[in-house]
Structure 1
């Protein structure tokens, strides 16, 4: 699967390969860099838009099962093309205690690095990447448009990593 990033086409990074580093602002406008989480697992969740039905359900399942992520020493970073202002309102309304990152400008650049930006719709596809403490991708899935992620896949993938 490939996605356009400017004039270039970028494939989904391979399991076993390095996770592309990036820096985005969170819902509070604070810079967050992927490499800041070295030493922990990272569950990187790309989602299309704040306030949309499937996305709210998926992120709500993460919110309601934070113990799973905490027990596996995992940080959750959820990324969409929304602005930090939209993401702050969304996090407040839904009670998300994890980082929501704004891939707003350049529009979808980080989603493009991960091969999940859809230039035709201007949104990120539902891509999930689980990254180990050393920065290696250990699990990835990209769901078709309109198809929610299977939460049990998080459990399986995190269990296969063990505690960092």
Structure 2
């Protein structure tokens, strides 16, 4: 497990993944339009992940008000993400990095190959496709989302 994540200042690798409804979503769709918060997480329906994404759901206006699109990514199938998203009422896309298994998590250096899952990697990508905030937390360790909010605030023009 390397799992260091990509560095701030790096260009975010583009990707296209299906959402819970199997609709393709590409990072490049947002380039030149709005920043994107990429939230990689290990598994749908797990305790820590549910807690994190519910907090994100409850604080979504912080990101929406700043014009930031949230994209949550795991190696789960689209079908399981659809069931989980409906159960929890998530109002942001849940993207499936199921096949090729973990390819996008690998591109962002947050794939834990021994467990076949994404680590808790968080990346704020600006409108030009540059990573402005990057954080990787180990399995089982919940993230402090206040750091994400500070990074979003720092994107705002002075």
What is the TM-score with the length of structure 2 in the denominator? Answer: 0.95
Distance in 1, matches of 2:93 and 2:79, equals 13
Q: How many residues align?
A: 156
Q: Which residue of 2 aligns with 1:130?
A: 124
Which structure has more strand as a fraction of its residues?
1
Distance in 2, matches of 1:137 and 1:16, equals 5
17, 20, 41: which one aligns with 1:24? 17
Q: CA deviation at 1:2?
A: 2.9
Q: Which residue of 2 aligns with 1:6?
A: none
Q: Which residue of 1 aligns with 2:49?
A: 55
Q: CA deviation at 1:12?
A: 2.5
- Structure 1 residues 71-100: Cα deviation after superposition (integer angstroms, max 9, x where no partner): 111000000000000000000000001000
What is the TM-score with the length of structure 1 in the denominator? Answer: 0.92
Q: Which residue of 2 aligns with 1:2?
A: 2
Q: Which residue of 2 aligns with 1:100?
A: 94
Distance in 1, matches of 2:27 and 2:2, equals 22
- What does 1:63-78 correspond to in 2, within 5 Å? 63-78=57-72
Q: CA deviation at 1:19?
A: 0.3
Runs of 4+ in 1 over 3 A off after TM superposition: none
> Any unmatched runs of 5+ in structure 2?
none
